[in-house]
Amino acid sequence: MQASRIDGDRANTPTGAREGTPGPTAPIATEPSRLQPLPYEGASLDPGGLLGGWQQLNRTATIDHCVAQLETAGNLANLRRLEDPSREPFHGYWFADSDIYKVLEAIGWETGRAGDDGWSTFVDETVALLRKAQEDDGYLNSYIQGDHPDKRWQELEMSHELYCLGHMIQGAVALSRGAGRDDLLEIARRFADLVVERFGPDGGEPGLDGHPEPETALVELYRHTRDERYLDMASKMVERRGRGLLAEQHFGPPYLQDHLPVREATEPIGHAVRQLYLAAGVTDVYLETGDASLLEAMEELWRRTVTEKTYVTGAVGSRHRDEAFGDPYELPADRAYGETCASIASFLWNWRLLLATGKGRYADEMERALFNGIAVSTSTDGCHFTYSNPLHLRAGHEGSDEDSPSERLSWFKCACCPPNLARLVASLHHYLATRDDDGVQLHLIAPGRIESVAPDGRPVSLTVSTEYPWDGRVEIAVESPASEWTLSLRIPGWSEGATLTVDGESVPAEADEHGYVRVRRAWEGTARVVLDLPMPVRVLVPHPRIDAVRGCVALARGPVVYCIEQADHPADVAVEDLRLDPAVPPQPDGGNAELGVPVTLAGPARVLTDGPEDPYPSLERGAPAPAAEATLTAIPYFRWANRGPNAMRVWIPTA
Ligand SMILES: [Zn+2]
């Protein structure tokens, strides 16, 4: 194991990252950034909680599954065949290398969190393969090198060469920070140096990738190495967008995020993952350069994304054709695309906006995506995944294509999502809290522990005990030396009537304009802070312009969106025919042990038993058939499709 170039004098802790090592995002410039992430080991999730349990499942099942799939799907074979490409064909899509890098990233963060779990041989062998594959000048891409060496850098609009470099960098940073090994970092820097030489600001060619990703990665490489050329390269790639530098292709410039310069491109359009990875990169550049015009554009892009083009689950992207955002309010439930990677990208972008502004609305979006659009993608066994995430699956759905299957699959021809999940979940604790000169801010609520420092530099800690998201009572044991500082607690946007006590005494729980209640006091010893967030079942109605679900309501409780699945209803009660009286919403009714959820909802409903056969009867003939009484059961949306293919809907027609 090699010493890191950064913090190289710190010894590894027995279980994870070196003390003080940063996590996935580590802004350097203190000026524009409002909040600072904690060191990687500064937060941990209790494995008994929902998020901590998911992190544990990721460790024990998902990561190993991904490692195995890299062999089965041929990603590693693509590197091995470079010795003699005529011996066997290339496997998968031309950007298959990126899956390898994302799995390495997941291992880096997971090793940093809880230690190596037998992955070091895989990492050793994979890094050795990559080292062998890397050209003398630093170039590395198994598709181009194997079959199309003449196309190197020639089709940047679709080649994903720089995209793959981006994921390589992120994997390298994770292995360096998390596992304390810099071997992939050396490979990534050689490749990045080649890119800087060829496309850099100092007279290079005006290159950029048709799939944004290298921007955010290059900023993190700058943060990790303090080599400003990488930040300059990222800034240049951001500035080159929307200037027609990428060649035309089938879906047009928006697909490539090349339709307008980033400061003018404030309507989310085109390929959703590309849009949001770009937004994360632009926000990263802002965090280091302080260019306010970039943040201004990103905040307007965010406003339009959230108010006009986001599903109730936090998912984005309503068009399968080009994996793209639709028009404003074009949010069909059954044909929702909502790619898992897009929800992850949204989470990552919102985190950067949160660091930049300190506004809780960005943490609200992280929470919504996490508990719904992201969590839905993984099965209870941690080894089956969704790619697209509809909010309605019809009875009789034809699910033979991986583009819109009827249940989670173990892998995909285009396998971007599973390893993306693995890397996010491994580092999930990184996103719980931040610090600033005034104190500590708690953004995501989960049982676990936060360790930070008071403004005077002495250590403070928060031990969070809660059943959240199933219950809104949040107990926080604050340990602090005698010191005055502010504990900021996010009051979720969905919450009403929050109450707060400190050592049993009631204190005001009103959120400020940023969405946080600020508890400033002279702390000393252990204080007991109790935040109570009432969690009634909420009946949500769609914006009047979302035609696709007009006349329906959705059910949510706390941050969790619920759905109705056929598996919870008898055959003669088709979930598609259930009708709900929104004045009498279903209520918490125990849980479902099989699905691992303590709170399901149940209540009275009606079911259409005799709908017309004619799909378009006249108004007189088509008068609603008498509806029979039924019981409706709703489960968390993120747990549907764990009991075989069956119909499901989030939006329920009203009686
Ligand atoms: Zn994906």
What distance in angstroms lies between residue 547's CA and the mean position of ligand 1's atoms?
A: 27
DSSP letter string, 255-280: GGT-SS-TTT--S--SBHHHHHHHHH
Q: Average pLDDT for residues 353-357, to the nearest whole number?
A: 97
Q: Which pTM does this prediction carry? A: 0.97
What distance in angstroms lies between residue 345's CA and the mean position of ligand 1's atoms?
A: 10
pLDDT-wise least confident of 13-22, 383-392, 468-477, 581-590: 13-22
**Residue 488: CB partners within 8 Å, gap ≥ 6?**
439, 440, 441, 442, 516, 517, 518, 519
Torsion angle of alpha carbons 210, 142, 104, 71, nearest 10°? Answer: 120
Q: Provide the token pair at 569.
A: 């209803």
Q: Which candidate in 105, 323, 365, 367 is catalytic?
A: 323
Q: What are phi and psi of 271, to 5 degrees?
A: -55, 120
**Alpha carbons 456 and 454: distance in angstroms, whole number:** 5
The pLDDT tens digits of the residues spanning 319-343 come to 999 999 999 999 999 999 999 999 9
Asked if residue 1 has pLDDT above 60, the reply is: no
Tell me, what's the pLDDT at 16?
Answer: 60
**Alpha carbons 381 and 414: distance in angstroms, whole number:** 21
Asked if residue 256 has pLDDT above 50, the reply is: yes
What distance in angstroms lies between residue 142's CA and the mean position of ligand 1's atoms?
A: 20
Q: What is the DSSP letter of 639?
A: G
The pLDDT tens digits of the residues spanning 388-418 come to 999 999 999 999 999 899 999 999 999 999 9
Q: Provide the token pair at 299.
A: 């905040």
Q: Average pLDDT for residues 76-88, to the nearest whole number?
A: 95
Q: Which candidate in 341, 416, 417, 552 is catalytic?
A: 416
- Give the count of beta carbons closer than 10 Å to the beta carbon of residue 265: 23
**Residue 63: CB partners within 8 Å, gap ≥ 6?**
103, 106, 107, 110, 117, 119, 422, 426
pLDDT-wise least confident of 166-175, 371-380, 476-485, 608-617: 608-617
- The structure tokens 């291992």 sit at 107
Whether residue 416 lies in the annotated active site: yes
Percent of the chain, pLDDT > 90?
92
Q: Average pLDDT for residues 52-56, to the nearest whole number?
A: 98
pLDDT band per the 50, 70, 90 thresholds, residue 14: very low
What distance in angstroms lies between residue 160's CA and the mean position of ligand 1's atoms?
A: 14
Q: Provide the token pair at 298.
A: 């990103």
Fill in the amino acid letter for 574.
Answer: A
- Give the count of beta carbons closer than 10 Å to the beta carbon of residue 197: 13
Whether residue 66 lies in the annotated active site: no
Q: Average pLDDT for residues 252-273, to the nearest whole number?
A: 98
What per-residue string of b and e applies to 48-72 under the rule 16 or more CB within 10 Å gives b? ebbbbebbbbbbebbbbbbbebbee
Taking a 5 Å cut-off on Cβ, the residues next to ion ligand 1 are: 341, 416-417
